[in-house]
Amino acid sequence: MGSKRWAFQGEGGGVFGFAWSRAGDFSGPEGWHTAILRDWKVFFGKGRWGRLDAFDERINIMPAMPLLGRTLMLVSAAVFSLPAQPQQVWQMQNSGTTAGLRGIDSVDGAVAWASGTGGTVLKTIDGGAHWQKCAVPDAATDGATLDFRGVQAADQSTALVMSSGKGSQSRIYRTDDGGRHWKLIFKNPEPDGFWDALAAWSFSHVYEGKPRNATGWILGDPVDGHIRVYKYWDGFLISGYSGPWHALRLDKDETDSLEADRKTTGSFAASNSAFVYIPWRPLDGQELRNGSVWPFTHLFVTGGISGARLYTPLPQVGDVEMPTNWRVTPLPLGSRTESSGAFSIGLAADHPAGVAVGGDYTKPSESVGTAAWSADGGLHWTASTTPPHGYRSTVQWSESLKLWITAGTNGSDISRDDGRSWQPLDDGNWNALSLPFIVGPNGRIGRLNPDSIPKP
């Protein structure tokens, strides 16, 4: 682009001009003295910019040249003293929906699925640059009324979504063609039931020489005096069904440790992270044993008037994934109200550190009782000394960043010391995490910008 001659007219009427080669057709915002050095813009003083020929050509610009020199010196100093602009922690993405989102599952950072109100299911295969809306399950009937609060995905083709609602409004659907078609797998048969979380262990595997389609867990609120926990394999169907799909309801065991009153105890379907499944495998070559590394494959948290609690299977002989007894551990979260307790639990994959978060969702800015940590495989829990800056519904360990991230309706926080203390990240409105993604109400989806994380 050729050299352009521009002029600045100050409040006193004086005009001076100069030429440069990279200014394009910029004419400066009205009412501001704008100096441009290369592609930099600095605003100071009153006046206006314009093409020199826009002013009276009889004005002699030469007397203003000494002032111009001093101005450029000021501009240069201002340019190089500009403060660095803060980077956005969560880079907002265009979801194409206004649905409230509580389900999110990142397969590999490029492929991810999200779900929410109004039968909404979304998918991205390019890291969130584009989110596409999938078909609504059971769209011809009542699918648009469902609230999909949990999603678990195998890849860009196969996923499960769980709706949460009373009785038959709690359902599981599966797609194997990228969300174009859905199959109803399991509908809650109990009119008073309500499902809170879905944890898929496998979508296809071989067991005892036979192919199986899916294996995992469902967590539900108490019905008939017992917390509902299902283990499913080859799909989802109610206990006792004689067909090829099976589910075992683990609500009555030898010690009645899952006994609970639905008026005082329940889980929260806030982020699909009240139930966690981890592989039964040794870490760093160590044998799994109680108190050293994670001694179980699954666990879940609850809240309510009875208080926040953690449920973990007790050690047993035989099938470790079919517990007959559960340990119940109090957690220092919430305030023993219907709206408070433990909402989410996370486990580090490379060391036996666990973090549980929660609080009271009706008091989003209350920080007391919002986070607790364990360093002994979940046997003992301690309240965070410096908690997150409000109620939190989701938490996750980032192995790549070596820190914890938690989020809720008034923002997000990080912890570098395994949950003992927390540092605020932002003040956005969020529901659920599956790093690097985060989702919230009104179709909010963000992607974590690692460069924006405060340095230790």
Q: Which residues contact 35 (CB under 8 A, 6 or more apart)?
A: 8, 41, 42, 44, 71, 72, 74, 75
**Gap between the Cα atoms of 340 and 383, Å rounded:** 15
Instruction: Tell me: pLDDT of 63 over 50.
Output: no
Q: Does residue 307 surpass a pLDDT of 70?
A: yes
Instruction: Supply the pLDDT for residue 134.
Output: 98
Residues 181 and 325 in one domain: yes
3-state helix, strand, coil in the chain (%, to 5): 5, 40, 55
Residue 267 lies in a domain: yes
Average pLDDT of 202-216? 58
pLDDT greater at residue 297 or residue 323: 297
Amino acid 247 reads: A
Q: How many domains does the chain have?
A: 2
The answer as to whether 33 is a domain residue is: yes
Residue 211 has pLDDT above 80, yes or no: no
* pLDDT tier, 59 (very low <50, low <70, confident <90, very high otherwise): very low
Given this model, what pLDDT does residue 456 score?
86
Label residue 139 exposed, middle or buried (CB < 10 Å: 0-12, 13-18, 19+).
Answer: exposed
Q: How far apart are CA 381 and CA 360, in angstroms?
A: 19
Residue 204 has pLDDT above 90, yes or no: no
170 within a domain of the structure (yes/no): yes
SS3 346: strand
- Domain boundary residue, one of 80, 105, 134: 80
Q: Is the pLDDT of residue 67 over 80?
A: no
If one compares 291 and 206, the residue with the highest pLDDT of the two is 206
pLDDT digits 0-9 by tens, 243-286 = 334 445 555 544 577 889 999 999 999 999 999 877 544 434 44
Both structure tokens of 426:
């932002």
Is residue 225 in a domain? yes
Are 317 and 378 found together in one domain? yes
Please determine, for residue 323, whether its predicted confidence score (pLDDT) is greater than 90.
no
Question: 241 with 210, same domain?
Answer: yes
Query: Is pLDDT above 80 for 39?
Result: no
Query: Is 285 part of a structural domain of the chain?
Result: yes
Its domain, for residue 38, covers: 4-80
Q: Is residue 344 in a domain?
A: yes
Which of 54, 80, 106 terminates a domain? The answer is 80
Mean pLDDT value across residues 365-376: 96
CATH code assigned at 167:
2.130.10.10
Residues 408, 443, single domain; the answer is yes
For the segment 384-394, the average pLDDT, to the nearest whole number, is 98
Which of 169, 240, 244 has the alpha carbon at shortest distance from 212?
244
Select from 29, 49, 80 the last residue of a domain: 80
pLDDT-derived band of residue 185, with 50, 70 and 90 as boundaries?
A: confident
Map residue 272 onto helix, strand or coil.
coil
Q: Are residues 239 and 306 in the same domain?
A: yes
Largest CA distance in the chain: 101
Span 87-113, average pLDDT = 96
CA dihedral 257, 201, 356, 95 (to 10 degrees): -130
Instruction: Note whether 72 and 120 are same-domain residues.
Output: no
What does the H/E/C string look like for 167-192? HHHCEEEEECCCCCCCEEEEECCCCC
- The model's confidence at residue 303, banded by pLDDT at 50, 70 and 90, is very high
Average pLDDT, the chain: 77
What confidence score (pLDDT) does residue 231 get?
75
> Do residues 197 and 247 share a domain?
yes
Q: How many CB atoms lie within 10 A of CB 429?
A: 15
What are the CA-CA distances from residue 223 to residues 156, 179, 226, 399 (Å)?
35, 32, 6, 37
Neighbouring C-beta atoms of residue 249, cutoff 10 Å: 17
Do the beta carbons of residue 357 and residue 407 sit within 8 Å?
no
- pLDDT over 50 at 214, yes or no: yes
How many helices (H) and strands (E) the chain has is answered by 1, 35
**Least confident among 131-140, 184-193, 446-455:** 184-193
What's the rounded mean pLDDT across residues 429-441? Answer: 98
H or E element: which one contains 411? Answer: strand 411-415
DSSP state of 158: -
Kindly give the pairing relationship between strand 132-133 and strand 148-153: unpaired
373 and 271 together in one domain:
yes
Taking alpha carbons only, the member of 131, 129, 100 closest to residue 115 is 100
More confident residue, 176 or 391: 391
In a domain, 142, yes or no: yes
Q: pLDDT class for 234, splitting at 50, 70, 90?
A: low
Residue 216 and residue 74 share a domain: no
pLDDT score recorded for residue 349: 75
Domain shared by 326 and 300, yes or no? yes
Residues 36 and 145 in one domain: no
The CA-to-CA distance between both ends of the chain, in Å, stands at 45
pLDDT per position as a tens digit, 336-346: 999 999 999 99
Chain centre distance of CA 194: 22
**pLDDT score recorded for residue 29:** 38
Residues 54 and 168 in one domain: no
Residue 329: the pLDDT is: 94
- Residue 416, pLDDT > 80, answer yes
* Residue 85 belongs to a domain: no
- Gap between the Cα atoms of 221 and 275, Å rounded: 12
